[in-house]
A and B are shown apart, each in its own frame.
Chain A
């Protein structure tokens, strides 16, 4: 069974440019998460979806970040415009309402 798939794996953009990350969760997992991980730190939750509903987006910087999960499967996380401080790893994860969260490989963003 395929795990959580993310793309792109690596992205380098200039500041003020937009960027989007895509995530395909494990089949059948209703819960989807986007995490942000800075170098040397643990992942921090940005947003959590239950099916297509964002049930916790309190940590998402809404002035420049947006996310969607149309049809309750794939999800996209967008940053517009990107800032230098947004350079980090963006992790997507999913779970089937249990306590185990399965992570993707992450999308590495460098803003120059």
Chain B
């Protein structure tokens, strides 16, 4: 079971780029890396997923080094509405039931 380690909290200001790093030293060959965002009073929402190198979508970018033992979620030009908890998960198609959410990273965006 590949568990993850993330900072408990981060502070940022509007307009800044925010990078949240996640450690997953025990990631398996078939594991993907997935990030979720959760606002208060809502369920987690899928942000981005990747296997290696870099993935970008309209919301964020995900950087994964060659050894895949860590990953970095990059949020460009954050706004107050990006204040949320961000979870990093690793797992594969056969074992995604074992996804371990952990406590996530509480991002606080200030004006």
Size of the B side of the interface (Cβ < 8 Å), in residues, is: 23
Residues of A within 8 A of B46 (CB): 100-102
A-B contacts, CB under 8 A, total = 52
Q: In the complex, which residues 7-64 of chain B have their Cβ closer than 8 Å to any Cβ of chain A?
A: 32, 34, 41-46, 49
Within the complex, what minimum Cβ distance (angstroms) separates B32 from chain A?
Answer: 5
Contact A100 B87 (CB under 8 A): no
Distance in angstroms from A64 CB to nearest chain B CB is 22
> CB-defined interface of A84-112 with B at 8 Å, one 1/0 digit per residue?
00000001010101111111111010000
Interface residues on A, range: 20 to 34
From B85, which residue of chain A is reached at the shortest CB distance? A42
Q: Which of B34, B85, B97 contacts A56 (CB 8 A)?
A: B97
Binding site for A on B (CB under 8 A): 32, 34, 41-46, 49, 85, 87, 91-93, 96-104
